[in-house]
Structure 1
Amino acid sequence: MRTIASYLRVLGFSVLGYLFLDFIGSTGETSIFIEQPWVWVVLGVLILFHIAGEICAAALKSILYRALNPEAKIKYDKKIAFEKANKFKWFRETYKKMLGSKAIEEEDEIILDHNYDGIKELDNNLPPWWVYSFYATIIFAIIYMVRFEVFNDYNQDEEYEIEVTEAKRQIEEWKKTAKDLVDVNTVILLTDASDLKAGQTIFNNNCVACHKTDGGGGIGPNLTDEYWILGGGIKNVFNTISEGGRDGKGMIAWKTDLKPAEIAQVASYVLSFQGTTPAEPKEAQGEIWVNPEAPDETKETIPVITNDSTAIQVTSNQ
């Protein structure tokens, strides 16, 4: 009962200390334990001092009681000896039963008649834990044989294929949320407002010097028309941003400065310029790009006038 009372006192003082520190230190909006984490250290030290005081008080009380009452000391010593003798008694007895062996004093009951130059042999039983484990392996073997040899459940090849299929499914699910794993083969056009906003920020920080804010083009080409030097579409634009433009006169490769997810965002933002009207559009460069994956019925023939005034027919997406 004294131990329970000590625990209750420690708990009570801890709660009171918590409330007191929170009352004098909190601003009223959040707890002081969130505003000032060092308060946890102060409260912890107070609790440790209180616990140490309880332990010292109990020890001192026991010493004084035994010193002033010899009979109590004898009774206390007997109690300690009894507790020590019975400490872990259940564990020791259980361990002894698991070994299944006889005590040294009882070994004469299991000595065999064999005598080899004065050496005798004990007829100890196998440890019960070993015997039960052996029986368990037999039962497992029977169940395994019936399941896989009699009823022809899945074999190792089938199990391997199932595990590989499941692993691939999990990888694909993971890739859907792991944007930084995107590459030129897996990139798709992003349409979420958050992605386009992020792409706009990247574009404004890195691209406006050459392409202008509205994509009309300056040093770099016009991004609002249908003409592309290295191909249009999300995959081509992603690859151009990542690997850079034409050798010697194109833009630098941004793959060392931007993450794949960021390249996908800015590429999607660049494609959002299509069909807009910039303030000072630069003349068209490159060729009209045709999406090879687009259905044939969505294509039409558009006449394009080249520098030598020769008209050619170009198939384009509508």
Structure 2
Amino acid sequence: MRNLIPSWVRVPIVFFIIFGLVEYFVDSGDKPAFIEQPIVLLFLLLVLLVLIAIEAIVASVDNILYHSLDEEGKARYDAKRSKVPEFKWIKNTYKKLVGARPIKEEHEIILDHNYDGIKELDNNLPPWWIYSFYISIIFAAVYLLRFHVFNGENQYSELETEYAEAKIAIENYKKTAKDLVDFNTVELLTEASDLKAGQTIFETNCVACHKADGGGGIGPNLTDENWILGGGIKNVFKTVSEGGRDGKGMIAWKQSLKPAEIAQVSSYVLQFQGTTPAEPKAAEGDIWVEEATNE
């Protein structure tokens, strides 16, 4: 089998099989394992060196064994090797890309220069180098026209597009993520489930100061039009979150309640407006009128 597949084919095949197994079993996220974890790259390089060393040792052993054979054994070995298919098209392609002249033809391109017995060959540039050079010229021309003449999209325009898309995605996310609500984005909740949750929070934390019907006790009356720190959902949310007046106001509930819960209880508190409590406390603060917003 070793005679059927050349070493320069065997080594890459075995190496990429090992590479694939490493990528499969090593968890490295989105990036390849050898980039995310340098130790993997060192391991792969070691594997490659070992494979090359094995091939070199086997080739040396084969060569030693061959020379240890008698003439008849060498003849049988050569006859066996002659039946092995060769990858002539690869060899021919390689020769064409390299463009090197055979050693027996070097006398045709040798120059007259002689430096202490060292002579120089008049070799042409390899075809692969010339083709690469022409391709780079074509690429440069296309690049110049595409991005500098016709103003094609570049990294800056792509970045601006991604920023705009990210901004839209963030705004859409904020609309559905209740726990990201704050004083500036909060809106009055009207869903029965939200108001029911707000009622539970109010009865658990707020009735001691405001009474169950919102009439007020230690805290102010929540049923009249007077507000100490401003009415409306935004001001009530801010008051519940940040607390009331220093020294004698309500504590800040942002340490105990999530933003979504503060929005729920604030919306429930506003349901007391216009109701008649059993023992209403005298009005405190100023009458608050919500300013009209320009659409």
> TM-score, normalized by length of structure 1?
0.51
Residue type at the aligned position of 2:179: D
Corresponding position of 2:9: none
Residue aligning to 1:165: 164
**Equivalent residue number for residue 206 of structure 1:** 205
Q: Over residues 24-61 of structure 1, what are the superposed CA-to-partner deviations in whole Å (9 max), with x where a residue is unaligned?
A: xxxxxxxxxxxxxxxxxxxxxxxxxxxxxxxxxxxxxx
Aligned to 2:245: 246
Q: Secondary structure at the match of 1:237?
A: helix
Contact 2:99 2:127 in 1 (8 A): no
Identity of aligned residues (%): 65
Counterpart in 1 of 2:291? 292
The superposition leaves residues 72-100 of structure 1 with CA deviations (integer Å, 9 ceiling, x where unpaired) of: xxxxxxxxxx9xx99xx99xx69x95995
What is the CA-CA distance between 1:139 and the residue it aligns to? 4.0
State the SS of the aligned residue for 1:290: coil
Contact 1:110–1:124 (8 Å) recurs in 2: no
CA 1:223/1:110 → structure 2, altered by over 3 Å: closer, same or farther? farther
Q: Residues 224 and 136 from structure 1, CA distance in 2 versus in 1: closer, same or farther, beyond 3 angstroms?
A: farther
Cα distance in 2 between the residues matched to 1:269 and 1:259: 15
* Residue 227 (str. 1) matches residue 222 (str. 2): no
Distance 1:193 1:109, change over 3 A: farther
What displacement does 1:252 show? Answer: 0.5
1:113 matched to which residue of 2?
Answer: 110
Select the structure that is richer in strand. 1
- Measured at CA, do residues 149 and 292 of structure 1 come closer, stay the same or move farther in structure 2, by a change above 3 Å? same
How far does residue 134 in structure 1 lie from its aligned partner after superposition? Answer: 5.6
User: Which letter does structure 2 place at the counterpart of 1:212?
Assistant: K
Is the aligned partner of 1:283 residue 2:278? no
Cα 1:102/1:240, change in 2 over 3 Å: same
1:236 maps to which residue?
A: 235
Measured at CA, do residues 108 and 234 of structure 1 come closer, stay the same or move farther in structure 2, by a change above 3 Å?
Answer: farther
Equivalent pair of 1:100/1:125 in contact (CA under 8 Å)? no
Which letter does structure 1 place at the counterpart of 2:264? Q
Cα distance, 1:154 vs structure 2:
5.8
The 3 A distance-change label for structure 1 pair 277 and 294 is farther
Does structure 1 conserve the Cα–Cα contact (< 8 Å) formed by 2:97 and 2:127?
yes
CA deviation after TM superposition for structure 1 residue 187, in Å: 1.6
The match for 2:149 is: 150
User: Are the counterparts in 1 of residues 202 and 265 from structure 2 also a CA contact under 8 Å?
Assistant: yes
**SS at 1:268 equivalent:** helix
> Judging changes above 3 Å, is the alpha-carbon distance between structure 1 residues 182 and 159 closer, same or farther for their aligned structure 2 residues?
same
Taking structure 1 as reference, are residues 145 and 248 closer, same or farther at Cα in structure 2, changes over 3 Å only? Answer: same
Aligned amino acid, residue 113 of structure 1: I
Letter in 2 for 1:150: V
Matched-pair contact (CA < 8 Å) for 2:220–2:283 = yes
Aligned CA distance change for structure 1 residues 278 and 140 (closer, same or farther; 3 Å): farther
1:208 Cα deviation from its structure 2 partner: 1.7
Cross-structure match for 1:178: 177
* 2:213 counterpart letter in structure 1: D
Report the CA distance between 1:175 and its aligned residue.
1.7
Aligned residue pairs, count: 207
Higher relative contact order (CA 8 A, sep 6+): 2
Query: C-alpha displacement at 1:255, in angstroms?
Result: 1.6
Over the aligned positions, Cα root-mean-square deviation in angstroms equals 4.1
Q: Contact 1:224–1:275 (CA<8 Å) still a contact in 2?
A: yes
Contact 1:107 1:122 in 2 (8 A): no
Native 8 Å contact 2:222 2:273 kept in 1 = yes
Q: Distance in 2 between matches of 1:279 and 1:257?
A: 30
Query: Equivalents in 1 of 2:95, 2:213: separation in Å?
Result: 83
The equivalent residue for 1:65 is none
* Alignment partners' CA distance in 1, 2:271 and 2:214: 10
1:270 matches 2:269: yes
Indicate conservation of the 8 Å contact 2:99/2:126, yes or no: no
SS in 1 for 2:182: coil
Could you tell me how far 1:246 is from its partner in structure 2?
0.9
Gaps of 5+ in 1: 1-81, 296-318
1:12 is matched with which residue?
Answer: none
Which amino acid is 1:244 matched to? G
Equivalent residue runs for 1:34-113 within 5 Å: 113=110
